[in-house]
Chain A
């Protein structure tokens, strides 16, 4: 018994290490890619659409690359690397966008100050761009962590065709317990996961978020920012790395050139820069060639599959059915998150506690419940189960986006509402609802994206080697294709879904978002 319990702890530790390593690598890559995209117009045109497309490809779509490339390329640690890579594909994209948007939004006067103090690219990155992105990065770590957790089950049990790669981790351990009928231990493990989520949230993510508040540029005004949660870790962080991280324009003054000292190393540095430039150029070229070559079989597979009779009809019908599920799940989620989100954002005392509790609940990964939910399958249909899983996964995006958008309302506007004694219906009409519009739209867009991604977990559930699935759906199609090892079908369905999601984003959501941020933004 003691052995089993220590096994559970070990599994939890292993999974958590995987998640945190993936999150750290994702953050590092996001910083690099985000800054490049924001500061180089040519790179921006390539990177942003690609990231946008990749973001709407569910984890499963990356299986072939993970398995074909990583497992075969890195002997010994291939499966582990593939698993971390897969977790990363579920959490990196929003962080890239966060860095990109933050760096794009660096006020022009700071950029000018940096130029005035002759900061070189490197010190501009470390003293301007990274500090400027920290609040947005920290804000995105929580959803990214939850998302990674959500796909943990798929990332610890990778199967393609007949091959199944199984990693030791908390999700595989829970699966084992359930399949052997040891439901007490499974429940115990699940409780531990919940506890670990809470601890991670309170101990790491929330302090990071509080700490990141220091990097906002806006004038805080006379109300000191509230410090909530446990701030000890953030204080330690502040003591150790804090000094190097503030937005330190005055520091640049110290670095103002003293003529000869400055010029000599400059020549050497220029050479180094050239070498670095050529090196990175060759690297990028090799990478591009590699990608193009490896894309050839993908394209061949896709062409071959399209030619098969009935495939186009199957895919479009599946897509349509999944689309209906997505809409239904969003509407269900919206029905309670909209009022609760607005209420919690405007009633600080109750709201902060409510948001804290909801945050914890939100980070419990729905797929870990699946083994338990499946035992009720006789009472509820697969269809209902799929919708439940999708709602559990995505409702939070709407809730937390409304909350965060409303907490950006300038303090003076709240004071105007108080000063003129605006209450009741008027308060909702002129203040609450317009103030939450931006968050509502951002939340909806992310939620819809998330729901599409959740389809592959919701529509087909692999339990004890048996596939329990809805009749038709694009997610199911992908799972079936990957189990059968039908790469062509997997590529084609993944690509169709990704393109469909991107097209809807571009044609509808982008416009709605632009309209709403113009109409309801606070830009003076």
Chain B
């Protein structure tokens, strides 16, 4: 328990705007995530939350600082860290099962084994029978489930989620949220850490052990708030609303 599963260490990042002009997105961002912990990142829109997630995933290289996975630096994408993208990011020319297989192409060389794992993942997210459907034939929530199945296919330790529920209706979002919470507490699922980027403060309070609040650009960690409420949490309870108000105050 001593070494955190995921450490973000003094990460800084800026985009160049051509002609040497640069603008800072992230500055000195640090935090740790421990085993079986659900952490949400909130902050003003455009503050660089999504950029931070991509740096953790190893898709973007940080300008300063580094990411540690159980004490070892993450220098490029690894199967142990996975991500659910905001816009589903499914390949329109591939069926649901082929889209899930994408996550396994590099890991499982045997074609049939790959297909078997992918089908199993799809039935785990409740999409049995939709293996051969193309993304355009699926509803928003089904597409979200496919992208979740793909993210979990490689048995990752860390699941990163970039506003995964924002495109869904509230009922669907709620059932998917509960599913992820269940997976995190289920000892048979190897998932150990979830990092969620969201605009929705209720969602953050509902799901997280901890909420990390980022400042306006360039984003720094303003504060971390631990949510000490038992699950399932009732959004109408007084304690819940106190947490929401507290986070609101930091953001406004």
Q: Which residues of A contact B170 (CB under 8 A)?
A: none
How far apart sit A228 and B94, CA to CA, in the bound complex (Å)? 34
Convert B55-76 into 0s and 1s, putting 1 for each residue whose CB lies closer than 8 angstroms to a CB of A.
0011100000000000000001
In this complex, which of B18, B25, B76, B86 has the most chain A Cβ atoms within 10 angstroms of its Cβ?
B18
Answer whether residue A418 sits at the interface, using C-beta atoms and an 8 A cutoff. Answer: yes
Determine how close the nearest CB of chain A comes to the CB of B190; give it in whole angstroms. Answer: 17
Q: Which residues of B contact A418 (CB under 8 A)?
A: 59, 77
In this complex, which of B54, B91, B98, B106 has the most chain A Cβ atoms within 10 angstroms of its Cβ?
B91
Convert A411-429 into 0s and 1s, putting 1 for each residue whose CB lies closer than 8 angstroms to a CB of B.
0110110111111001000
B54 touches A522 (CB 8 A): no
Interface hits, B31-49 → A, CB 8 Å? 46, 48
Task: Please report whether the interface of chain B is mostly helix, strand, loop or mixed according to DSSP.
Answer: loop
B59 touches A412 (CB 8 A): no
Q: A412-B87, A524-B87 are known contacts. Are A419 and B82 too (CB-CB below 8 A)? A: yes
Answer whether residue B182 sits at the interface, using C-beta atoms and an 8 A cutoff. Answer: no
Q: Which residue of A lies closest to B83 (CB)?
A: A419
A422 touches B102 (CB 8 A): yes
Q: A413-B89, A419-B82, A434-B91 are known contacts. Are A426 and B105 too (CB-CB below 8 A)? A: yes
Q: Which residues of A contact B86 (CB under 8 A)?
A: 412
Q: Which residues of A contact B85 (CB under 8 A)?
A: 412, 415-416
Answer whether residue B195 sits at the interface, using C-beta atoms and an 8 A cutoff. Answer: no
B89 touches A223 (CB 8 A): no
Q: Which residues of B contact A524 (CB under 8 A)?
A: 87-88, 135-136, 143
How far apart sit A72 and B18, CA to CA, in the bound complex (Å)? 54
Answer whether residue A290 sits at the interface, using C-beta atoms and an 8 A cutoff. Answer: no
A430 touches B91 (CB 8 A): yes
Determine how close the nearest CB of chain A comes to the CB of B134; give it in whole angstroms. Answer: 8
B106 touches A422 (CB 8 A): yes
A412 touches B92 (CB 8 A): no
How many A-B residue pairs have C-beta atoms within 8 angstroms? Tell me.
Answer: 81
B106 touches A222 (CB 8 A): no
Answer whether residue A336 sits at the interface, using C-beta atoms and an 8 A cutoff. Answer: no
In this complex, which of A221, A416, A421 has the most chain B Cβ atoms within 10 angstroms of its Cβ?
A416
Q: Which residues of B contact A413 (CB under 8 A)?
A: 89, 91
Range for the number of chain A residues in contact with chain B: 20 to 34
Q: Which residues of A contact B93 (CB under 8 A)?
A: 434, 437, 519-520
Q: Which residues of B contact A410 (CB under 8 A)?
A: 87, 89
Q: Which residues of B contact A522 (CB under 8 A)?
A: 92
A419 touches B59 (CB 8 A): yes
How far apart sit A521 and B106, CA to CA, in the bound complex (Å)? 26
A415 touches B106 (CB 8 A): no
Interface hits, A340-359 → B, CB 8 Å? none
Q: A412-B85, A430-B102, A431-B91 are known contacts. Are A419 and B50 too (CB-CB below 8 A)? A: no
Convert A219-238 into 0s and 1s, putting 1 for each residue whose CB lies closer than 8 angstroms to a CB of B.
00111101110010000000
Q: List 22 A-B contacts (CB under 8 A).
A: A222-B48, A222-B50, A224-B15, A412-B86, A412-B87, A415-B59, A415-B83, A416-B85, A416-B91, A419-B58, A419-B59, A419-B77, A420-B102, A420-B105, A422-B102, A426-B105, A430-B94, A430-B105, A431-B91, A434-B93, A523-B92, A524-B88
B residues with CB within 8 A of A: 15, 17-18, 25, 46, 48, 50-51, 54, 57-59, 76-77, 79, 82-83, 85-89, 91-94, 98, 102-103, 105-106, 135-136, 143, 154
